[in-house]
Amino acid sequence: MELSVINDDHVEILLSDLLEQYGYDFTGYSRASLKRRIIRLYSLDRALSFAEFRYKINNDSLYFKRFVEQITVNVTEMFRDPAFFKTLRDVVLPKLGTYPFIRIWLAGCSTGEEAYSISIILKELNLLHKSLIYATDLNPIVLEKAAQGMFGMSNMKQYSENYILSGGLKDFSSYYTANYSLAKFDDELKSKIIFSTHNLVSDYSFNEFQLILCRNVLIYFDRELQQKVLSLFDESLEELGYLALGTKETINFSGISDKYKRLDSEKIWRKVLR
């Protein structure tokens, strides 16, 4: 991969095009990752020149959708970081189980693997019937995939191991039906998931939740945008609600940190009364 086909100026030009042409604001994204994604797509799609690449993004709305899907990272797993999901299962969700109704926001849900993981835990805790998971992403294409509830069979061995490590006691394969190369997850699991577009950069708070999960999304944002998004989560979280971030993410540098108390082991914070 030649790194100089797209330079830093090209990246800035594309970002301002996206903002003007489509209203998508990526200017608060960390540049190194974004640039690598753009170069990857440029060579994957065998673009002839920067001018041609830029023209296509600006004038072909289908290609624009592909562009947004490809420059954002959509790598995810079921029960990724099993210890995190074990804490959800053993500590957080039982606490929320005492509420009459549980509202969960999974921000940046990508292709839905975590949404189904949470749904499985809720079902096993007998809480699914009174829960609602709002799974959002800025990207309509990944949401369509998420709503299908079908994941590659080749991943099931890994997911099953993660599930067991996260405290799951059932036979993981009881949750899906094998269909050639795909595992189709039970419809019951998605009956309480609402998949919807929401852009953390530009959209507002849309409800109050007891649990907000946003894992490995903030790493792609600069500090300023991280701060803005954390404030959005703070506005959207009830008192005593929980905020869960990725393994390497933190609220420590943000203005909301003094309202939150971190759980011992995982990157989960509880909004405490002041």
Burial class of residue 102 in the structure, from the number of CB atoms within 10 Å of its CB (0-12 exposed, 13-18 middle, 19+ buried): buried
By beta-carbon proximity to another protein, the closer residue of 1 and 273 is: 1
The verdict on 176 binding another protein (CB under 8 A) reads no
Strand order in the sheet with 131-137: 193-197, 131-137, 102-107, 209-214, 237-245, 268-271, 260-262
Q: How, if at all, do strands 182-185 and 150-152 pair?
A: antiparallel
CA distance 81 to 202: 29
The verdict on 33 binding another protein (CB under 8 A) reads yes
Task: Pick the stretch among 25-33, 113-121, 187-195, 236-244 that binds another protein (CB under 8 A).
Answer: 25-33
Q: Give the residue, chosen from 117, 119, 136, 216, that forms a contact with another protein under the rule CB under 8 A.
A: 216
Q: Minimum distance between the CB of residue 3 and another protein, rounded to whole angstroms?
A: 6
The verdict on 261 binding another protein (CB under 8 A) reads no
Give the footprint of another protein on residues 63-102 (CB under 8 A).
Answer: 73, 75, 83
CA distance 189 to 212: 19
By beta-carbon proximity to another protein, the closer residue of 210 and 254 is: 254
Strands of 99-181 (E only): list them: 102-107, 131-137, 150-152, 176-179
Q: Minimum distance between the CB of residue 249 and another protein, rounded to whole angstroms?
A: 7
Type and span of the H or E element at 160: helix 156-165
Residue whose tokens read 């608060």 = 28
**To 5 degrees, how large is the angle CA 6–CA 11–CA 17?**
125
The verdict on 223 binding another protein (CB under 8 A) reads yes
Q: Minimum distance between the CB of residue 102 and another protein, rounded to whole angstroms?
A: 27
By beta-carbon proximity to another protein, the closer residue of 70 and 210 is: 70
Q: Minimum distance between the CB of residue 112 and another protein, rounded to whole angstroms?
A: 16
For 139, phi and psi rounded to 5 degrees? Answer: -110, 105
Q: Is 195 helix (H, G, I), strand (E, B) or coil?
A: strand
The verdict on 19 binding another protein (CB under 8 A) reads no
Q: With contact defined as beta carbons under 8 Å apart, do 131 and 99 qualify? A: no
The verdict on 264 binding another protein (CB under 8 A) reads no
The verdict on 1 binding another protein (CB under 8 A) reads yes
By beta-carbon proximity to another protein, the closer residue of 74 and 231 is: 74
Give the footprint of another protein on residues 232-251 (CB under 8 A).
Answer: 246-250
By beta-carbon proximity to another protein, the closer residue of 207 and 252 is: 252
Q: Minimum distance between the CB of residue 163 and another protein, rounded to whole angstroms?
A: 16
Integer angstrom CA distances of residue 78 from 24, 65, 142, 174: 28, 25, 15, 15
Which residues of the shown chain bind another protein in the complex (CB under 8 A)? 1, 3-4, 8, 30-33, 36-37, 73, 75, 83, 216, 219-220, 222-223, 226, 246-250, 253
